[in-house]
Structure 1
Amino acid sequence: MTRAEMLCRLKEVAAESVTPLRLAGGAFHVWSQLPVTDRCSLEAVRGALYSAFALGQYAAYEMFATRRLMPGEAADVFLADLRRLAVLFGRLPERALACAFVTGLPDAGRQTIRAGSRAEGLDLTTVLVRVTTINGGKLRCCGVGSVVVEEVPTGRGASLETVVVEKRPLGVDIVLGVAGISALGGVPYCPRLSILGRQPPAARREYDAELDAWVVQGCLVPYDEGRRGTARVLVPLMAVQQCIKSKVRPVMGYRKLNSFVPTHRADTDVCADQLWRWRRHGANVAVVDLKRAYLQVHVEERLWPFQTVMIRGQRFRLTRLAFSLNIAPMVIKAVVRSVLEQDAVVQRAVLPYVDDLLVNEDVLSAERVVVHFAEFGLDCKHPERAASGAWLLGLRVQAEGRELRWVRDNPVGASPARVTRRAVFARCGRLVAHLPVCAWLRPAAAWLKRRVNQLMRTWDDVTDNAALRAQINYVARRLNTDDPARGAGCVEGEDMVIWTDASSLATGVVAESPDGDVIEDACWLRRDEATHINMAELDAAIRGVDLAVAWGARTIGLRTDSATVHRWLDDAISGRARLQTKAHGELLIRRRAEIVCQPSFLPIIDGGPSRFCVWRPLRRASAAEIVGHLEQRFLERRAPEEVLADNDTVFRGCQEAALASLRRCRRAPLRLEYHAHPYLTVRISELGPSGDASPRHALHGNVASRDSDGCGVAGQ
């Protein structure tokens, strides 16, 4: 309509007479339906066409919100279309139009203009013509487009969105941003890792010296593309400061590559579990650590193109195993295990944890272990005796008198200045971590984590809650004067005393040796305060027994201040009385009591082809109880030809009674044969007319206990 009016004014012709001739299709039908008087009014025709074909206010707003700068479209055209859509649903102020315009720009231009707008308060007109280059110069944006770029040496290409300007930026045809570099396989930026450029000068020198040592040792070798082919991956190399060891370690950023390397974590060692084994390995122990363990493992040549780095403008290939590869600890574990399996004595003397070795010198000297590993090309550091002071998986162990004692080895640091969930959890992790004994500190750390979870929804929200800050400061003050992280370094024997208790807030367990040394403690905050205190006391007793079983205790002394729990467990273990209670959870209580006492079962296995097994629960392991189950089985399925039982005293005690039961069930002449250890075998054969024994199936039996998942293994 506007162009038609302009043409009519130019030709000095009435627009009302020309407009119907320029309309077609639906527009002409709309004009023909108008009254005759309205057909001669240009305003009436324009209003009718707008009502028929213009977007509604809702559709116009939806298109306005999703409108983006198209490839090849000029910025002025984009802004004009935004204005047109804004008129259809209601006029917007210039500031709102400027925000919509910047939002519709490509990523690179949008971030730059947003930063400039915040810093300089740019209006819509200035935003339209402003594009800031890398060196701070300003160029006029002519539009956007799409180009295909290709890296000449590798032939790798990518399609990139571009912002078109009038002049060459920095004197070149194209300037690549971060998105363009990543599309061509460049270096991604990881904000959570310490980047080399942000390290202090002293750390920078240490980092450069470490890289030079890698080059001298052959870990880093200049990459020869003519011989090895084109490098497949360029891995970022970063400097990470280790505060505990006070050194800088070069670390390769394998985040992208790790996403393509599957890992199997079922055989992963848990530090806390391994610490149990180390403390049970003996008092005369020494620690041997592999020297630069990961750099001693060579990588196959065909994998070199996948781990190349740029150092001082030159591409190098890493020929050894990198620390940050997700499967690196599993590889080290497999290598160490393979070396230990070459000598049975070394394997019996050494308990490994990744690249750390604990040697029981009552079996083999630590120097002999170092020589054994050197025979397979693995260098070890000088052994550290625990009696002289050594580091054992985060514990500082040394001799006090004739015993080994451990204390905390990690610095706890100061309280966080900004209280966030992330900072509180990190603080609590440094306080308790995997330390076996923490006493009052363990429930205090658990309480701080619970409180910060209640106050904040995200990990980085900052809170100024005065009560939480006071609790954090109280823990810090008490920790400075009374750090409970200490205990016995060596755990011996199979006897253990378990103290358990429960309150409205938490349940706790303490494991002690018969001499009174605290071995380990544990604490769990209660979630459901409505649970009866007797149930909480019973749960604490079960957890205490689990803790003792994990330590390998065979004789457990359970201590509880609840008379009710004492009666429940005593009745369940002794079998003197049936557990009875008026509580609504009687079945649950009985089941938990049975878990503590671990009832015995009599497995009866058919020795024929079926190998069918029947489990009979035993109220007590006595001769009368076992004979009763055997006689019931013989009456149901007839007596067998022979009975094979293990060498338990219970079976020896029921021998005569079992034979009498067999005679009653078979009522036939019998012949007895006895076999020695490991099984007491009673062979009973029925004599036929010719004096030959008729073959029958056998029954094998032993007294066993079902394991935690309800299954058991019957010895035969």
Structure 2
Amino acid sequence: MGMGEVHVQLLSGPSVTMSALVMRTRPLGFDFVMGMNGINILRGVTVRSLDDVKFGIEESEVVTAAATALQRDVDEKDFGVTYDVKARTWTVSWKWSSGTGPPRLQDTVSEYRVPQAARQEYENELCQWIKDGWLVPYSKVVHGPVRGTIPLMAVVQRNKKKVHPVMDFRELKSYLDVHTADADVCAEKIREWRRRGQRVSLLDLRKAYLQIHVHQWLSSYQTVVFRGMRYCLTRLGFGLNVAPLVLKKVLSTVLSWDERINSAASPYLDDILVDESVASAAEVENHLSRHGLICKPAERVHEGARVLGMRVWGERRGLFWKRDNNIADMPEKLTRRTVFFLCGQLTSHLPVCGWLRVAASYLKRRANAATTSWEDEVTDSKLRFMIEETLKQVKRSDPARGRWDVKGDENSLWVDASSLALGAVLEVNGDVIEDACWLRRDECSHINLAELDAVIKGLNLAIAWKMSKLTIMTDSRTVYYWVKDTLSKKARVKTKASSEMLIRRRLETLRAIVEEYGLSLDIRFVSSAENKADVLTRVPKRWLGPERDQLACGAAVAITEQDIAKIHVTSGHPDCGPSRYAIWRGIICQDTASVTEQLESVFLERGAPKELLTNNATSFRSSLFGEFANCWGIAIRYRCAHVPSGNGISERCHRTVKTILARKGCSVAEAVYSYNVMPRGNDAASAPANQIFRYEVRLLGIDEVRQQNQSAHDQHRYSVGDRVWIRHPSRRCDSRSLEGTVTRLVSPQNVEVDGMPRHVRDLRLVTSPLPTPGELSASEQPDVVEEDDALLIQVPGPARGSEDEGTIEEGADSLERLQLRRGSRERRPTQLCQYSDL
């Protein structure tokens, strides 16, 4: 028959108005059939049984009534908020710092200059505000006299490429006191959200501040002029100092009305992270909408979402994040403000930045040193070069990325310190979750004290993550033993440094933190190359050098080498750094004669030093040792009694050699060898042996034996497989040569014959085979007298007549004497002399 509107009232009291279709006959035999549109108006329906049916509006009324009974008005020190149950609106009224507001604000500017490119979007947004009732025409009867004009300006949001109208509340804020002790901190909220796991979604309030009304009697302080007309802002404006606190309080109040929703949601300003393992995002969204807060559609983080300025997405292993803001280009005019703005874009609140964090901090320190105010132009050309280099490196390989979801109990804290900065890296199950660095002041405190400060700062970072089990990784031996002895209480901390009391105070602070928070703490020593915090304490070396070559003057004078050495020593540079090369000699007893004997053998082999640093043993204090030193022209310096640190290098070498000896179970000589070939840095050249010798010392058990391969360009007289004659070692003309086969070519002068190296001058190619021993007559075969004679080959001479035989027989004795005759000069055995006889 037609359509109309009907008023439906439930038995429990709530009533709604909905559209209805009127028919002549009852549909399906019922007086009234409700469709989905009607159910939506009633906010859903729950059917538990045939006689237990409830609509969503009934439950919401109950919840609203309960909420009203719990907390309808919120009263804080700097503002008050009231919730209207029927209108479902929140209204705020701030409190003046002096108790009463100013009679009138002094601002007279209605609008700041708006860029022409943003003008159209800026005006369209303001027109939408007027259409939505956020800006209402000013009426003196309704709003009272005008007490202030808020200047309008346009702000371009670079990430979203949007233009937003913003008001300049600076004068109005000067009359308000804000208590920010309970304000949310972005870094803390990020840590909380990353502990929520992988099943999370993100909700965002739509125009969050503009959903909160401002009390009517305060609207006269928020008047604006747009297109020649004056309007009153009836909502909470973005930029007012109390706005974030008001929004936080309203959100926390609404969420607290449902315990399950409150445990699932974690708000930060207008963003709400929902743990869907506790409650779904739709439930949280419906709960907020029932109490006057409208949200945008929820985003599942696993499918990709922007979370607090970072792009977060899901993979098989979990959730990962990276930077979601564009890196700005190098500004034409460089001021302190632009440098700080650029460094804020690079690091800001990102949890992991690696080398970029210390680089940005150093750039800001350099900009502070080059300017006196925020708008001063930076004329330091080297600073511009540093910024350009940093931007290129970030665009090439951005270190701001990592694992988002944090779970596990294997927590490691890597700490390090340098003369420039302190660094700390927090790692969970092998993934770096956060890093931090702190630039050091220009001070002369010892590096061990800075390493200890890094441990304490890193421990504070771990406590912020609420970690109870932690392993500290440090590359400082001293700090390792300090902390280990402090935690275990096994031994008293030993230090005689000038900062002894500062060191003990820090160690006591460390112990108090561990006891107060109930931490299970362990510490391990790692090398600098393995320390993940090392990169947070360094900048490129070229950044720390002078900007340009420094001018210097000099004079040409005649000076001897002794004077040069004296000046070098007295200026505090006694040498160019110790090589730490160790030489070991065994002595029978610890008397002066044995000591001087071994020292003299070392001096004869390697040369005598200019100075000897020894302890106060009697063997070094004797007159015989003094004579020995005077003979070699060596100065002797004795360390202080009972102070082994006076000869620290030797003491540490002695300790290290004994440690190697105990662990390997080898000889002392091999332990000293291992000490000498052990690198002190990242390259083999830092080993003590490689600093002494001009060749690289081969490592026992590591460097393999490699046969030298001959170049194809070498000319060889023989080839592998050639049959050759081998000249007899006696080189006598009647000695028979041996026959062999070339098995390997070593060099053009050296070949191996049947596995024995032979010189090519002792070899000849075989052109015709020799007669075998079977072919020789019995008289021609040589007699074997000794075992060594088997190597001799006797070649029979030609047959002679009978006449000659008699002649030979007669002179045989004389011939034998001539062949075996030795020189007539008197031969004396060689006398071996000691070096003292020379």
Give TM-score, length-normalised by structure 2: 0.48
Alpha-carbon distance in 1 for matches of 2:147, 2:449:
61
Which among 533, 536, 552 is matched to residue 450 of structure 2?
Answer: 536
Relative to structure 1, the CA distance from residue 451 to residue 186 in structure 2 (aligned partners, 3 Å threshold; closer, same or farther) is closer
Q: Note if 1:565 corresponds to 2:479.
A: yes
The answer to which structure has the higher helix fraction is: 1
Which among 243, 248, 266 is matched to residue 181 of structure 2?
Answer: 266
Relative to structure 1, the CA distance from residue 592 to residue 250 in structure 2 (aligned partners, 3 Å threshold; closer, same or farther) is same
Q: Note if 1:576 corresponds to 2:527.
A: no
Question: What is residue 253 of structure 2 aligned with on the other side?
Answer: 338
- The one-letter amino acid of 2:395's match is N
Question: What is residue 511 of structure 1 aligned with on the other side?
Answer: 426
Relative to structure 1, the CA distance from residue 325 to residue 591 in structure 2 (aligned partners, 3 Å threshold; closer, same or farther) is same
Following TM superposition, by how much is the alpha carbon of 1:493 offset from its aligned partner in structure 2, in angstroms? 3.1
Alpha-carbon distance in 1 for matches of 2:453, 2:210:
48
CA RMSD in angstroms comes to 2.2
Following TM superposition, by how much is the alpha carbon of 1:360 offset from its aligned partner in structure 2, in angstroms? 0.7
Q: Provide structure 2 residue ranges, at least 5 long, that are not aligned to the other structure.
A: 1-102, 522-838
**Where do residues 235-250 of structure 1 align in structure 2 (5 Å cutoff)?**
235-250=150-165
Alpha-carbon distance in 2 for matches of 1:184, 1:196:
20
Question: What is residue 596 of structure 1 aligned with on the other side?
Answer: 510
Alpha-carbon distance in 2 for matches of 1:453, 1:327:
32
- Aligned sequence identity (%): 47
Following TM superposition, by how much is the alpha carbon of 1:186 offset from its aligned partner in structure 2, in angstroms? 6.7
Question: What is residue 200 of structure 1 aligned with on the other side?
Answer: 116
The 8 Å contact of residues 415 and 424 in structure 2, kept in 1 or not, is answered as yes
Question: What is residue 467 of structure 1 aligned with on the other side?
Answer: 382
**Where do residues 294-333 of structure 1 align in structure 2 (5 Å cutoff)?**
294-333=209-248
The CA deviation string for residues 642-693 of structure 1, in whole angstroms up to 9 with x for no partner, is xxxxxxxxxxxxxxxxxxxxxxxxxxxxxxxxxxxxxxxxxxxxxxxxxxxx
Alpha-carbon distance in 2 for matches of 1:324, 1:363:
34
Following TM superposition, by how much is the alpha carbon of 1:414 offset from its aligned partner in structure 2, in angstroms? 0.5
Q: Provide structure 1 residue ranges, at least 5 long, that are not aligned to the other structure.
A: 1-182, 603-616, 621-716
The 8 Å contact of residues 394 and 409 in structure 1, kept in 2 or not, is answered as yes
**Where do residues 337-376 of structure 1 align in structure 2 (5 Å cutoff)?**
337-376=252-291
Secondary structure at the residue paired with 1:498? strand
The 8 Å contact of residues 105 and 172 in structure 2, kept in 1 or not, is answered as no
Alpha-carbon distance in 2 for matches of 1:322, 1:599:
43
Which among 461, 480, 501 is matched to residue 587 of structure 1?
Answer: 501
Which among 553, 574, 579 is matched to residue 467 of structure 2?
Answer: 553
The CA deviation string for residues 529-577 of structure 1, in whole angstroms up to 9 with x for no partner, is 4111111111111111111111111100100011111111111111111
- The one-letter amino acid of 2:337's match is R
- How many residue pairs match? The answer is 416
Alpha-carbon distance in 2 for matches of 1:184, 1:440:
51
Relative to structure 1, the CA distance from residue 600 to residue 364 in structure 2 (aligned partners, 3 Å threshold; closer, same or farther) is closer
Which among 234, 238, 261 is matched to residue 149 of structure 2?
Answer: 234
- The one-letter amino acid of 2:386's match is Q
Question: What is residue 152 of structure 1 aligned with on the other side?
Answer: none
Question: What is residue 137 of structure 2 aligned with on the other side?
Answer: 222
The 8 Å contact of residues 422 and 459 in structure 1, kept in 2 or not, is answered as yes
Secondary structure at the residue paired with 1:368? helix
Alpha-carbon distance in 2 for matches of 1:186, 1:586:
59
Secondary structure at the residue paired with 1:461? coil
The CA deviation string for residues 269-304 of structure 1, in whole angstroms up to 9 with x for no partner, is 111121111111222111101000111101112222
Q: Note if 1:284 corresponds to 2:199.
A: yes
The 8 Å contact of residues 580 and 586 in structure 1, kept in 2 or not, is answered as no
Alpha-carbon distance in 2 for matches of 1:435, 1:232:
42
Alpha-carbon distance in 2 for matches of 1:312, 1:565:
68
Secondary structure at the residue paired with 1:413? coil
Question: What is residue 386 of structure 1 aligned with on the other side?
Answer: 301
Question: What is residue 428 of structure 1 aligned with on the other side?
Answer: 343
The 8 Å contact of residues 498 and 509 in structure 1, kept in 2 or not, is answered as yes
Alpha-carbon distance in 2 for matches of 1:485, 1:253:
34
Which among 408, 411, 436 is matched to residue 493 of structure 1?
Answer: 408
Alpha-carbon distance in 1 for matches of 2:312, 2:104:
52
Relative to structure 1, the CA distance from residue 198 to residue 290 in structure 2 (aligned partners, 3 Å threshold; closer, same or farther) is closer
- The one-letter amino acid of 2:144's match is G
The 8 Å contact of residues 305 and 311 in structure 2, kept in 1 or not, is answered as yes
Higher mean displacement: 336-345 or 260-269: 260-269
Secondary structure at the residue paired with 2:213? coil
Alpha-carbon distance in 2 for matches of 1:307, 1:599:
49
Runs of 4+ aligned residues of structure 1 deviating over 3 Å after TM superposition are 183-190, 195-198, 597-602
Following TM superposition, by how much is the alpha carbon of 1:599 offset from its aligned partner in structure 2, in angstroms? 7.3
Question: What is residue 120 of structure 1 aligned with on the other side?
Answer: none
Higher mean displacement: 397-406 or 520-529: 520-529
Alpha-carbon distance in 1 for matches of 2:114, 2:136:
26
The 8 Å contact of residues 410 and 428 in structure 2, kept in 1 or not, is answered as yes
Secondary structure at the residue paired with 2:238? coil
Give TM-score, length-normalised by structure 1: 0.56
- The one-letter amino acid of 2:114's match is R
Relative to structure 1, the CA distance from residue 557 to residue 316 in structure 2 (aligned partners, 3 Å threshold; closer, same or farther) is same
Relative to structure 1, the CA distance from residue 507 to residue 601 in structure 2 (aligned partners, 3 Å threshold; closer, same or farther) is closer
Relative to structure 1, the CA distance from residue 429 to residue 227 in structure 2 (aligned partners, 3 Å threshold; closer, same or farther) is closer
